[in-house]
């Protein structure tokens, strides 16, 4: 039988990570974990960290990126907190730390559970669509060296995001690029990494156009 007719394995077989000891089958599972963390009045960064797990670097990059793609990016302070969160996670991954550490003041930052629930509901349809289309491919783009370069690019975007907070649409555009990168890292799917580079290039061109048009 031709290999072209053999469907890719389920996402669960391609993702070795777990969330809270449970198998990570895809983006929808990450949204489920966020909904679990949202049981109550407020959800803190520490609640999310406990639910996802301190060893899950790629999901911990993906979660704030997806939140910044959602309407929550319009809340003052959310893009800056999300960018700082991702920058700390990426930096520690590059340093080779076995788990994520966050300062106490950052873990204490909270958001209303209703707002988080609305954001996860908004993200479910695109997350389910992506889950059905990820597979291991373009291995060169998710090799160790390529992943280091991807993490450096994510860190550079995160360093830029706080300065773009007055432009919520722009922060969401750059966060979409980080989302593609994080999916590529998590699913070992070089196609999403490539899309991330293309998207980020377009976002940078858009930002350059906005800056030059305003001056």
Asked whether residue 185 is assigned to any structural domain, the reply reads yes
Asked whether residue 87 is assigned to any structural domain, the reply reads yes
Asked whether residue 98 is assigned to any structural domain, the reply reads yes
Angle 190-214/144-160 helices, nearest 10 degrees?
30
Q: What range does the domain containing 155 cover?
A: 12-214
DSSP 8-state symbol, 98: S
Q: Is the pLDDT of residue 12 over 50?
A: no
Rounded alpha-carbon distances, angstroms, from residue 3 to 15, 151, 173, 177, 187: 22, 33, 37, 31, 20
Radius of gyration of the chain (CA): 17
Please tell me the predicted confidence (pLDDT) of residue 169. 83
Q: Are 33 and 19 in contact (CB under 8 A)?
A: yes
Full-prediction pTM beyond 0.85? no
Residues 63 and 70: their CA atoms lie apart, in Å, by 11
pLDDT, greater one: 4 or 131: 131
pLDDT, greater one: 112 or 85: 85
**106-118: per-residue pLDDT in tens?**
888 888 888 888 8
**Looking at 8-17, 78-87, 106-115, which range is the least confident one?**
8-17
Asked whether residue 6 is assigned to any structural domain, the reply reads no
Torsions phi, psi for 156 (to 5 deg) = -65, -40
Asked whether residue 196 is assigned to any structural domain, the reply reads yes
Nearest to 73 by CA among 27, 128, 118: 118
Q: Are 38 and 117 in contact (CB under 8 A)?
A: yes
Please tell me the predicted confidence (pLDDT) of residue 17. 54
Residues 6+ apart with CB under 8 A from 7: none
Nearest to 70 by CA among 172, 165, 170, 167: 172
Asked whether residue 145 is assigned to any structural domain, the reply reads yes
As for how many domains the chain has, the answer is: 1
**24-35: per-residue pLDDT in tens?**
667 888 888 788
Mean pLDDT over the full length of the chain: 82
pLDDT band at 129 (very low <50, low <70, confident <90, very high): confident
From the CB of residue 5, how many other CB atoms can be counted at a distance below 10 Å?
6
Please tell me the predicted confidence (pLDDT) of residue 94. 92
Please tell me the predicted confidence (pLDDT) of residue 205. 93
Asked whether residue 47 is assigned to any structural domain, the reply reads yes
Rounded alpha-carbon distances, angstroms, from residue 18 to 9, 135, 149: 18, 18, 25
Please tell me the predicted confidence (pLDDT) of residue 23. 54
**148-184: per-residue pLDDT in tens?**
999 999 999 999 999 988 876 889 999 999 999 999 9
Sign of the dihedral through C-alpha 197, 203, 206, 208: negative
């Amino acid at each position: 039988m031709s290999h072209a007719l053999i469907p890719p394995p389920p996402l669960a077989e391609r993702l070795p990570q777990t969330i809270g000891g449970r198998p990570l089958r895809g983006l929808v599972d990450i949204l489920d974990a966020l909904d679990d963390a949202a049981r109550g009045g407020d959800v803190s960064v520490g609640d999310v960290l406990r639910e996802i797990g301190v060893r899950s670097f790629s999901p911990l990059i993906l979660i704030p990126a997806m939140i910044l793609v959602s309407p929550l990016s319009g809340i003052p302070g959310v893009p800056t907190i999300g960018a700082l969160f991702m920058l700390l996670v990426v930096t520690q991954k590059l340093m080779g730390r076995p788990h994520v550490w966050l300062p106490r003041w950052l873990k204490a930052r909270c958001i209303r559970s209703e707002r988080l629930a609305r954001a996860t509901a908004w993200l479910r349809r695109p997350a389910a669509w992506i889950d059905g289309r990820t597979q291991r491919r373009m291995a060169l783009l998710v090799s160790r060296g390529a992943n280091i370069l991807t993490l450096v690019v994510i860190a550079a975007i995160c360093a830029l995001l706080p300065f773009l907070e007055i432009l919520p649409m722009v922060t969401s555009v750059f966060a979409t690029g980080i989302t593609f990168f994080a999916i590529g890292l998590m699913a070992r799917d070089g196609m999403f990494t490539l899309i991330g580079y293309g998207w980020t290039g377009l976002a940078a061109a858009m930002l350059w156009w906005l800056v030059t048009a305003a001056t």
